[in-house]
Structures are given as C-alpha cells and as structure tokens.
Chains A and B, each alone.
Chain A
Amino acid sequence: MVRTFKWLMPHPFLTLLLAVVWVILQKEVTAGMAVFGVILGILIPWGTSIWWPDRPKSLRLGKLCSYSFMVVWDIVVANIQVAWVVLTVPNSKLKPTWIVVPLELKQPEAITLLAGTITLTPGTVSADVSDEGHSLLVHVLHTDDPDAVRDDIMTRYQDRLKEIFS
C-alpha cells in the first residue's frame, strides 16, 4: 500500500501545489476543475520523477508558513532601508562588499530556498555556491559591518531553514 502510494505520488507536496495552482488559474472554482487539477498533480510528478529521484525527507509546513510571513515582513523593512540608501548615500560613500556565508544546510532544496530568500531581501544578492556546497557567496549593497550581515543571515534564516528541513 505504502509502496503503491510512493510509486503513484513521488512528490506529495508537489501534487498538492500543482492542484492548488490549477484551481487558482481557473476563472471560477468548480468541482470538475478541482478533480482535473488533482489528476494533473498526480500525472506531472509521476511523469517527471525519473529526472527528480530524491525528495526532501521531511518538510514542516507550519514552520514554512511562519517563515514565509517573516520573509515578507523582512522584504518590506529592507526595502525601506535600501530606498533610503539609494536616495541619500552618494556613490563615493557607498560600501558594497562580498561576504561568504558558511552553509550548514545539506539539502539542495534548502540551499535554494536560502539563496532565494537572500536575493529577494533587498540589499543582498546571492551570487554563487562553492564547488562542494559548503559556502554561499553574497553581495551586499551597503554595510559598515559585513560580519554582522553574515551572522544575521545565519541566525535569522539558516537556523529556521534547518528546523524546517530537519
């Protein structure tokens, strides 16, 4: 039973996500479209599972939700800070710098999520990972204390992501 379920739905969260996206894409929510969404949600992951054999071992959806709200709030706050930097700091006084964030996350999904969060938060852009995946290269627009930015990323985002994917 469990094996049949795993064969049919290699990525249960993806199935759920595809079904929800399909329903939202429709102009009106109808039962028929919801069923069709579930069918698509089963067929697409099943058909593409050859190219995507691994899946995250566990994913805490509740913590992921609170994490997304925190990120949205951070985006708003950081936007105002960066707008202030753009309008008031002249080019000669701007202090852009590279920082290296040591990665404690192992799963590719978690690292992708961390890199995406860093880029979406204005003022920081994630540029690259190292060849063995132990550190993340981040560009900062304006900072007096690069170490503080690095520690902020590590405690604020990385520790939470570790809990989500633990």
Chain B
Amino acid sequence: METSPSVEHGVHGHHDHVHGHAEHHHEETFLTKYVFSQDHKMISKQFLITGMFWGVVGGLLSILFRLQLGWPNETFPFLETFLGKWAEGGKISQDFYLALITMHGTILVFFVLTGGLSGTFANLLIPYQIGARDMASPFINMLSYWFFFTASVIMLLSFFIQTGPAAGGWTAYPPLNGMRNTAIDLGSGLGFDLWIAGMALFIIQALLAGLNYVTTVLNMRTKGMTMMKLPLTIWALLFTAIVGILSFPALLAGVVLLEFDRLLDTSFYLNNIIINGHLLGYKGGSPILFEHLFWFLGHPEVYIIILPAFGIVSEVLAVHSRKPIFGYKAMVISLLAILILSFIVWAHHMFVTGLNPNLGAIFTLFTLLIAIPSAIKVFNWIGTIWRGRIRLTSAALFAIGFVSMFISGGLTGIILGNSSIDIQLHDTMFVVAHFHIVMGIAAFFGMFAGVYHWFPRMYGRFMNETLGQIHFYVTLVGAYCIFFPMHFMTGLPRRYYSYGNFETFNNFNNLASFMSVVAIIVFLAQLLFVVNYFYSIFKGQKLEGEYANPWESNTLEWTAPVERMHGNWPGDIPTVYRWPYDYSTNGNDFNPQNIPLKPGEATH
C-alpha cells in the first residue's frame, strides 16, 4: 500500500526480535503494490473486488433464469442477441437454464460468499485487530489470492466454450455429472471439467488461506491480546478457517474421483448405468458416496459462509449500539458449538436418498441441536441493542437486517431438519426460500455491514450514507418480497424450467412474475452499491486527522494511522489492556483496547 519511506518499521511485535533496516524501504513497483501484493490490506481489497465482480455475474445469471421462471411463455428477443443459440427465439433453452442455475449456485456459494466474504475480512481484520503487522506468511497469502484468481478465470472461461458451462447443478451429483463421454446433456462436457479444475484451485486457495489465518491468530497476537480479548470477528474468522481446513479436503477428494470416473472410466460413483437400453460397463460404484463426500464439505460450507457474517455483525452491532456485545463468552461458546456440530449434520441433505432410517434419525437430532447455539446468538444480538444508543448508519442497518434475515431463514431450518417433514419438502422451493434467506441474503447483509463499517479503514474515506441506506431498504424489502412468498410454493420441485407440465404445480405463475420483477429491482440496488463503492474510493468524504476512529470503536484497527502503510503501525505495535467491548463504561463512551486500565478497574 501507500508505503511512506520515512516510516520506521523497526519493531515487529513485542515478543520478537527487532530488525530495523533498509530492506523495508525498497521502492514498490506497480506490480508488487497492486498486483502481486503481499500486503494483507491490498489482498483483502483484491478479494473484495473480485468477489463483487462475481456477485454481479452471479446476480445477473439469476435475473436471466428469473425471466424464464417469471414469464415461462414469453420470449425476450434481446436475449438471443446476447446469448445466441442458448436463447434461440428469445427463449432461454432448457440446457442453458440448468447452466444458469448451476453457475449461479457455484459462483455465489464459493466465489462470492466464501472467497469474497472470508477472503476480504479475514485479510483485512485478522492482522489489524490482533495487532500484527501482517499475516504469518504474506507470501502464502498472496498465493491464496492468485489461486482464487486463477480458479475465477477458469470458471469464467467455461461460459465461453461451445458446449457451455457446467449444467448439472452446483452439487455436481453423479451419474448426471459422472459420465463425460455419454454427453447426456449440455454441461456434462468440457464445461464440467473446467468446473472441477476451477473448484480444485479454489479449494487450494481455501486451504492455503485458512492455514495462514489460523497460524496468524494463534501466534501473532500482540502483547496483552489474550484469546478472551479477541473481538468476535476474529473468533468467527478463526473458526471459519478451521471448518474450511477440515472439510474442503473431502470435496477435493470427491471431485477428483468424479473426474476419474469421467476421464478414465473408473466406477467410483457408477454402477449398472443403462442408457437407452445399453448397459454400460461401470460396476460397483455408488452415487451416494459422492453425496456423502460432497455434503461433508457442503454443509460445513454454509457455516464457512455464515460464521464471518456472525463475527462482523457482532462487532458492528456492539460498536454502533455503543454497548458491549451481550454475553461475549456465550457468543464464543456458541460459535464453537456450531463449529463442532457443523461436521455431523451433513446427511440431512440426504434424508430421501434411501439411507438407513437410523442414520436419518441421528442426523435429525444433530441438525435440530444446531438451532440452540443459533438461538443463543440471536438472543444475544437482540440483547446487545436493547438499551443501547444505536446509531442507525448503513452498517448498523445491515447488521440489524442480518439478524432479521437470520431469524426468518433459521426458523424454517427447524422444519427442514426434521427428517419426516423433509420427505415432502426436500428439493422443493421451500428449501430454496430457506437457504437463500439464511445463508444467501443474511451472509450478504453481513458482508455489506462489514464493507460499510470498514470502508473508512480500507480507503480513508466514508461510503455515501444516503446511497447506502437506499441500498439497504430496497434490498431488505425486496429480499423479503422474493423469498417470503416462496415458502408457500411448498412442494414445488426446484430446478424446474417450467411448471406447465403439472396441474399440481402450475398455480403460482402470477407470484413467479412478481418475484422476478422484484429480483430485477434488487439486482439494480446491488449495482447501486457497486457504484457507491467505486465512487466513494475517489470522492467519498475523507476521514479527518492523521489518526481517525470514525465509528469510535475500541478495536485495534482504528489505532493505526488513516494513511495505510506496510506494517500497519509506524513505530511500536499497540499493546492490549482491555476487552474489545468496553463501551459506555468507566465514564467513557468507548475505551480502546490499547488504553491502560485505570487504577481499580477490573478487566472482563
């Protein structure tokens, strides 16, 4: 970043050696500063901007398939102009519809809400909030971004090949995706091979980044920063990284074996496949095995998405309410409980695959248990704003919106997690409504809260509040308008191109059109956010002073100068004396963590 040659980089933490020297004073080139940067702040921006790009792409895909779902009998000639043979006569083809939903899921789950969310905030906040000059390994950190970038390029390329991108669902179940040469449909060809290559690189990214985050948090905390003095953002990001490290390898194994089936005609997932009366030579595999491997990551993945949002929201709500987070210890313990339980609930995605009913019962038990730590978190957030002095800024609004969404979406999880009820609801629009609210919209709200809150830290300027609040209300109202009524489509199978073949399902066409109109409006509101973001980088209101703490927050990132520099702090890194949530106590509105305790004052 903007390294000033005059800055002293003498001390690297209190507990390690001193090396003051010239090697830090080298001139940075454009390439090392903006492209192959090893600075956590720049890498965080790279993740965020790449994530925003993917967010727009993923959102646009959803608008395209919402056109089909909202008006299944209409044609849109402009689609043919842009999409050619995939939308002949202005109607999205059946194949391409599946490609759209597949890539929408893949992009948003992995590239936006994992790469974009975790990547951005772990990079930005971990070194800043624990009082470190950078990550444990800035080089591995740089590599992780470039693996992410390469994975992104490969995924994006798959849109431009003749047979189109992957189209077998983001869950990539075999045999639909398990046989390359049979070319059952568009998307089971090269597009899906690219999908696997992209995912493999993405997983490498997640592992490299995760190991780095865990190492940094455990080893590089500044003096006085005990684990129980960590802001909840860091707890959440630490747990996210642990979940990722332990679960992503299962997916890597799963997709590599899948590619073996496709390229080498092995039979890991295939058995007795008969196509048009021809028995193929696959013997002895099981498609269910893939489902187990996939969901062994797939379910923890939703916690990888939502945990950083938990952390961000806890921090933002406390700061903007001028009040300590309610029940800090309970928050940490409930995060830990979610971390553990997240590994033993995966088969609730498989209640109707014919798995042993005993297994179904066990997974019902653990799945519903996860509601307990989730409920504790919700009550504690509500407890945090109770009797606070809430500054309703864009960041605070999005944090409140997050809690609202998390409640709405989380509650329907209690229905879906119950195996006997899930028989009817499995793979229907009810599920789509549930997970979009609880891990889609909610995670986005967490991300927006984080961006509005830490934008001044990233760029030394505020984002435009007015635009931020328009963005908030349109998104909040719009998201509920799309996904609340979707719950009434209980029993309508998902991933249907049209419901016209069924009398049973064909009764919601007006509602589908309404949801599509709202979806377009919500999408435009997200573009407004993108406009606001880039506008504010250059024209946003500047922070005043050399050191500014715009939200009057306790955490260490605001003790660093507004002018970002390599190493974060000129001179010594701060020492921590306090808990991060000392708001409205001790006669002060806020008490930054680096302010020594007054005589007689107790720590938390």
Does A pair with B? no
**B interface list, Cβ under 8 A from A:** none
